[in-house]
Structure 1
Amino acid sequence: MLSIVRSQEPDAGQAPVKIEGSGIVKYYEGKKRSTLALDNISFDVRDNEFVSFVGPSGCGKSTLLRIIAGLEEMSSGTLKIGGKDIEGPGADRGMVFQSYTLFPWLTVRQNIEFGLTLQGIPLFEKRRISERFMELVKLNKFANSYPKELSGGMKQRVAIARALANNPKVLLMDEPFGALDPQTKHSMQELLLDIWEKEKTTVVFITHDIEEAIFLSQRVYIMQAHPGRIKQTVAIPCSLRSQAHAKDSDAFLKLKKQVVSLIGDHADE
């Protein structure tokens, strides 16, 4: 039996559903034939919940996230956020990609304030918001630095702060730590959990890293490929974050082995 519990585990009887997808199908049309990328995907994400989708390459994880973001259209099915149909990108969703997607000609502060500037937020308020999020991601001393002067982990912290500065209801993350070295990746995972607990933001996280999915999430949707389907949902009912070296514990390793077996022999680890 899976045995991790998160400190903020949502009460299924009380927490409202933030995102709800039902029967989602996605075809990509080619010159000679169409390819079924997602087949009958149904899922839900509760308010303030941290949910991950994990599975092998080609299972459609990123495609599903882009549909939630409104960057791609599904072929059929329904998808709602806060009870309303998703019909395109919206300010209620913030997106963090694996690539840092920062503007190289803008400083850390200016990158974080970019969306606020587009909204016409007054300068004083922009400064207040950017100061808060630079402090949250521990980049106060780098406010006037440019992306080329930052490490990979620092760039991703800027990207997270920029997304959160716009006060989204949902933070969508597409393998945001995939390009980082193991030590930096673990530090970023711990930072993300700290931010999530402080900001109470709903997080949908895409990864092929089973260990990362277990460490971060309250629930994990396990996907299979060709076409992409949800194979099983795993609730992670008890926190190991408070334990030293949680990922090396017997309980964590047992969980990882169980999830690997659910994904199958073709999982990317």
Structure 2
Amino acid sequence: MHALNREPFVETVAAVSKISATDVTKVYSTKKSQFVALDRVSFHVDAHEFVSFVGPSGCGKSSLLRIVAGLETMTTGSMSISGHEIDGPGADRGMVFQSYTLFPWLSVRENIEFGLTLKGVPLFEKRAISDHFMELVGLHKFARSLPKELSGGMKQRVAIARALANNPEVLLMDEPFGALDPQTKNSMQELLLRIWEKEKTTVVFITHDIEEAIFLSQRVYVMQAHPGTIRKEIVIPPGLRAVEDVKDSESFMKLKKQIISLIGHHEE
């Protein structure tokens, strides 16, 4: 397996928080009752950082990501990107869901170029951008293929390429590999790390897979449910990730057991 340099990204100035959230609360109301999905959640994600949120079902991971994306509004609290309050969706954020959300009538290239077409990007520039990202995700030979002709892993590669083609400041990923078989999932994790290392996009990743969170991330926020809160922030040692057989190492297993304990303690 390709070993990646997972040392934190270093700039000539101190790292700047790309995303900052303070006391974010989300309450869903029905005719009969109210449900607190998130209760005073605070966190930060630095520029160029890869951060995951992990926790049990019902802990509000996806709701939190949708608030970052501007697809939902918080009930109380504040959240900003690069110092600007989030007030809706924006081109500064790209999103990849567990479902592939590709346009079935468009080819791989056309799917990747979709956002660029809406922006009115000139044809020669669109082609250069789509060529770059098709090469990056290993799909340059499938430029004319339709989604129905692709495997699940290939469809998700198209979705990642499409999100990155718009040059977002932040890539938001909601359990993007959850529907894939284990072997494809592992290869997609490795691909994502290579892309992250090359592009240095800030990544916020939602998963219920503890091993995936440790393997991919520089930091992991462990959440608990009822209501959704952050139980603990865990910094992943740089030398622990993205090397051959790391998931079987003693250090990796120790971190995994710690996170399982944090999640399980609340559920008992």
Interval containing the TM-score (normalised by the shorter chain): over 0.9
Equivalents in 2 of 1:103, 1:243: separation in Å? 35
Corresponding residue for residue 43 of structure 1: 43
Corresponding residue for residue 128 of structure 2: 128
Aligned 8 A contact 1:170 1:204 in 2:
yes
Corresponding residue for residue 109 of structure 1: 109
Corresponding residue for residue 205 of structure 1: 205
Q: Identical aligned pairs, as a percentage? A: 71
Deviations, residues 35-71 of structure 1 (Å, cap 9, x unaligned): 1110000000000000000000000000000000000
Aligned 8 A contact 2:50 2:202 in 1:
yes
- Residue 255 of structure 1 deviates from its aligned partner by 1.3
Deviations, residues 163-209 of structure 1 (Å, cap 9, x unaligned): 00000000000000000000100000000000001001000000000
Equivalents in 2 of 1:185, 1:30: separation in Å? 37
1:149 is the counterpart of 2:118: no
Secondary structure of the 1:179 match is coil
Equivalents in 2 of 1:241, 1:35: separation in Å? 37
Alpha carbons of 1:182 and 1:147: their partners in 2 closer, same or farther (altered >3 Å)?
A: same
TM-score between the two structures when normalised by the length of structure 1: 0.94
- Residue 253 of structure 1 deviates from its aligned partner by 1.1
Runs of 4+ more than 4 Å apart = none
Secondary structure of the 2:239 match is coil
Equivalents in 1 of 2:137, 2:240: separation in Å? 23
Secondary structure of the 2:138 match is coil
Alpha carbons of 1:87 and 1:8: their partners in 2 closer, same or farther (altered >3 Å)?
A: same
Equivalents in 2 of 1:32, 1:243: separation in Å? 51
Indicate the larger mover: 235-244 or 88-97. 235-244
Structure 2: gaps spanning 5 or more residues: none
- Residue 10 of structure 1 deviates from its aligned partner by 5.9
1:29 is the counterpart of 2:32: no
Secondary structure of the 1:211 match is helix
Q: How does 1:229-248 map to 2 (within 5 A)?
A: 229-241=229-241, 243-248=243-248
Aligned 8 A contact 2:98 2:174 in 1:
yes
Equivalents in 1 of 2:206, 2:20: separation in Å? 17
